[in-house]
Every structure is written in structure tokens, then in C-alpha cells.
Amino acid sequence: MASPDDLTGENAPLYAARKGVYPKRVDGPFRRFKWAIMGITLAIYYGTPWIRWDRGLYAPDQAVLVDLANRRFYMFQIEIWPHEFYYVAGLLIMAGIGLFLVTSAVGRAWCGYACPQTVWTDLFQHVDRLVDGDRNAQIRLANGPWTFEKISKRAIKYLIYLTIAFWTGGAWIMYFADAPTLTVEFWTGQAAPIAYATVAVLTATTFILGGFMREQVCIYMCPWPRIQTAMMDEKSLLVTYKDWRGEPRGSVKKAEAHPGAFGDCIDCNQCVAVCPTGIDIREGPQIGCITCALCIDACDGVMKQVGRPRGLIDYCTLDDAATEKAGGVGKPVMKTLLRPRTLIYFGIWSAIGAAMLFSLGQRTRLDLAVQHERSPLYVQLSDGHIRNNYTLKLRNMETRPRRVAVTVDGLKGAALWTEAGSRETAGQRVEIMLSPDSVTRLKLFIAAPGDGPARQDFTIATRGLDGDPRGDSDIIQFDRPEAGQ
């Protein structure tokens, strides 16, 4: 970094090497909260594909499954078809608004606690401490010569990294196929090449991003910190070093020698030592801070030791910081959380969720899409009737075979039949057996008397014949030759 005297910055380096980060072990309420979240998120990630869910004979029994080959998405009792992708879009919108909500209320909480990059980095940093020892030992080892001890420690550490990375990639593919089957196939070399490729790529990315890139991902690669900065306002909670209370810094000894001359910060550097991104929060809010709150735990521990009140570093809004600086008292946390902005976000978020749940409950699982064949638009039949051809797409989205009827409404004298039938057997409706969880494509022939309008709207409808009469209908045209043709 250029010295402050260098006012041109001409000599600033073009490229900066990564500074090593060796976060110190720390304990405290936020650290324990982080442990809990890490446990929950990892358990969800590794465990979800193994949850079973009985859907009967005709559908997979995996609770959460993205079945790309058959183009189905299963999530517990919900099954989503490709044409219902708007539910997935809705979920993504909810996720987006959810992040807005969280950010406006508690700042970068996503970054600090739940982001996979944070969770895996945290996991890998625990591995570092397990193999190499705490911060100081790690620094010594990193700067020391390549002794046998260093080589073996590095080898063990990277092996553990690799194992975690491999399990991470391995768990990912379980979401896309029946997990127990795929596991067996994977280890017996029978899985699809794409499965091995996916595991290889994810192993590599986890190993590199979690083992080596770490905070560099947050600082240089991730767009989210930039977006979050725009989402936050002066009422969002931020990890803040309360400089008005801490400055000027001085050791306990100096403070004893000159009572009243120093602030509460004893300049012990513990907050820097524990920071997983290696920054000094006392320089003020900055992009490198993921608000993991570990420095709060560290400082609270120090304050307790020296017998001063906790919270020299604490969650604090910019508004409260100004108030406290002026000698006032900040608002209670509840007040900062519940304000119009967060309530509006929450309102939108839950409205979308409620609307999706409602429509999920309402959707029929028998769907009809009709296409009028264009070539030919109509067929002159021998007896003077006109026939039109239609292509029907019947989606049976239930996991049971179904018997359904196709009927027409609003077309006088219409007789319908399918490829399986013929005009001799044509009638007012056709009955069709639908395979479970599948699309049936049908050619439907409809003959009607030739005297009528050249183009006429009518309805083709389908409904269940097996107890559930709900169905679907489509308005479509019947064409006849223009008069004189």
C-alpha cells in the first residue's frame, strides 16, 4: 500500500498478493450461534437427499429430487412439472426478497452466517486449527521452513480438505437421482459420466474456494456485497466498533497511569486476530466485513476480563451510532427490526408465499392443451360433413393411472374419435386411459355438419371419470370451407 505521503500513488503495486488470514479460536454467544447454523445448514445439505417420501407406485420415493431426465421436481408432497416452472421462479423471487428483508433488517447476516462460502470457509478454518494449531502456531508454520513436520501437516490438512470437498460434490449429485441407488452406482463405476464430472468439478471448486480463496471470494468475486451495500440504510444493523467509547486506545497499564485519558479499547488486537477475513473493524465499516460478529465475541471476552461493560464492538445502526456518539441511548433492537421498510418487504415476501401456496392447493392435476391442426385446416368428407383434426396434450400429473373423458361443447352434431377409433365408432365423447405422471399426446378427429360458419369457437374439455371430476378445458376453432369453395 502506498504511504500517505505519496500523493500520486505512482508507485502503488499493480498486483497485490493475498495476505494470510489465521483467525484465532474464539468462544461466545455469536460463535455458538454460528456453530448451530453451520450444523443445521450442513445437515440440510448432506441429509436432505436421504429423506424418503412415499408417493406410491409410480413416482420416486425421494423427498427432494430434481429429476432432470424425466423433467420433474419433487419436494415433499409437491410435484412440479416443467410447465409449472413459475413456482420455481416464485421461489427464487421469494429468496431474493427474503435477502432484501434480511439485509435491510440485520445487514449482511446472510454473509456472516448462512452463505455456503462462509459456512465452508469456517469449516476449513476449523480444520486448519485442528491440524496446525491456533493462530500463532499457524503463522509460525506458514513462515517456517519446509521441515518434515510442515510437509506432513500440510499433507494431512490438504487430505482433509479434499475429503470434505469430495463429500460436498458427492452430496450435490444426490439431489438429481435416487440417492441410495446412485451411491451404489457411483462406487461401482456405473453412474453416468456427468455424475463423475459434476463431483470432480465441485470437489475442485470446494477445495479451491474453501481451502484457499476464502475471503477473496467475498471481497473480489461475489456480487452480493455490492448489492447489499445498496440495500442497507442507516437503520440496518452493522457490526460497529464504537470509536466514541473506545478511542483513544491505550493499554490497561497506561489507562491506570492516566485515568480518564483513554477510551475503553485496550488495543489488544483480539478483534483482528479472530476475524475470518483478516480485517480491522476499528477502521470502520468496510466491504471486507461479512458481519460474522466473531469480533464482538472476542471483544466482549476482553472487556469481561478487564471489568468493563460489553459491547465496545456490537451490532449497531448508523442512526444509533450518531445518537450514542452525541451521548444519547440507541433504540431497542426490536424497534430497529420492525420498521416500515422491513414490514413492507415481509408483506411482499409472505404475500408471494401465500399466493403460491394457495395456487398449489388449487391446481388441478389434469391438464389439457389443444392444438388445431393447420394443414389441412379442414377436410371435406364424402357425406358432406367437415372434419377438423386436433392434437391433444393430456397431462396426468397424478401418480396413478387415470380414466378420463374428452368431450366437446358448443359444436352442433359433432362426433369425435381418436386414432384408435374410427368415424363409425365416433360419439359425443371419447374415453382415454392415462398413464400415471405422464403426458399423453392424442390425435382427435372431430366431424360436424358442413353447414355452419366458416370459423366457429367451441370448447374441448376433459375430466376425470374416476371419482375426481375436476379437469381442464380449452377454447378452440372449428373451420369449414368458405361458401362457394
Residues that bind ligand SF4 (CB under 6 A): 239, 241, 246, 265-271, 274-277, 279, 281-282, 289-295, 298-299, 302, 312-313
Q: Which does 145 bind (CB under 5 to 8 A by kind): another protein, ligand SF4, none?
A: none
Using CB under 8 A as the binding rule, whether residue 362 contacts another protein is answered as: no
With contact defined as beta carbons under 8 Å apart, do 23 and 273 qualify? yes
Q: Please, which residues have CB within 8 angstroms of residue 65's CB and are 6 or more apart in sequence? A: 49, 72, 73, 74, 175, 176, 177, 178
Give strand pairing partners of 366.
396
Query: What is the pairing mode between strands 386-396 and 415-418?
Result: unpaired
d(CA 267, CA 255): 11
* Count of beta carbons in the 10 Å neighbourhood of residue 465: 16
Three-state secondary structure call for residue 134 = coil
CB contact set of 98 (below 8 Å; sequence gap of 6+):
349
Of residues 229, 222, 223, the one with CA closest to residue 318? 229
Q: Which is nearer to another protein, 90 or 450 (CB)?
A: 450
Which burial class, exposed, middle or buried, applies to 254 when counting CB atoms under 10 A from its CB (0-12, 13-18, 19+)?
A: middle
Answer for which of 198, 389, 407, 459 binds another protein (CB under 8 A) is 389
Measure Cα distances from 14 to 10, 214, 217 in Å.
10, 22, 19
Q: How many CB atoms lie within 10 A of CB 409?
A: 11
Q: How far is the CB of 389 from another protein (least distance, A)?
A: 6
Pattern 6-45, another protein, x by CB under 8 A: xxxxx-xxxxxxx---------------------------
- CB closer to ligand SF4 out of 298 and 416: 298
Residue nearer to another protein on the CB measure, 421 or 469: 421
**Considering beta carbons, is residue 88 or 379 the nearer one to another protein?**
379
**Among residues 216, 407, 440, 473, which is the contact residue for another protein, using CB under 8 A?**
216
Q: Between residues 54 and 482, which has the closer beta carbon with respect to another protein?
A: 482
In angstroms, rounded to a whole number, what is the distance separating the alpha carbons of residues 179 and 464? 34
293 interface partner picked from another protein, ligand SF4, none, CB below 5 to 8 A per type: ligand SF4
**Residue written as cell 477475513?**
277
> Of 65-73, 156-164, 235-243, 443-451, which segment contacts another protein by CB under 8 A?
443-451
* Cell 386436433 -> residue: 390
Site for another protein contains 453 (CB under 8 A): no
Among 361, 384, 453, 467, binds another protein (CB under 8 A): 384
Burial of 357 (0-12, 13-18, 19+ CB in 10 A): exposed
Residue 284 in the binding site for another protein (CB under 8 A): yes
State the CB neighbour count (10 A cutoff) for residue 17: 6
Rounded CA separation 381/385 (Å): 5
- Which among another protein, ligand SF4, none contacts residue 8 (Cβ within 5 to 8 A by kind)? another protein
- Name the binder of 239 from another protein, ligand SF4, none, CB < 5-8 A by kind: ligand SF4
| Gyration radius of the chain over CA positions | 33
> Which string of x and - marks every residue 394-433 that binds another protein (by CB under 8 A)?
-------------------------xx-xx----------
Cell numbers describing residue 239: 457490526
Least CB distance to another protein at residue 145 (A)? 23
Instruction: Work out what residue 383 binds among ligand SF4, another protein, none; the CB cut-off runs from 5 to 8 Å by kind.
Output: another protein
Q: Which is nearer to ligand SF4, 34 or 365 (CB)?
A: 34
Q: Which residues bind another protein (CB under 8 A)?
A: 1-2, 4, 6-10, 12-18, 213, 216, 220, 283-284, 373-376, 379-384, 387, 389, 419-420, 422-423, 443, 445, 450
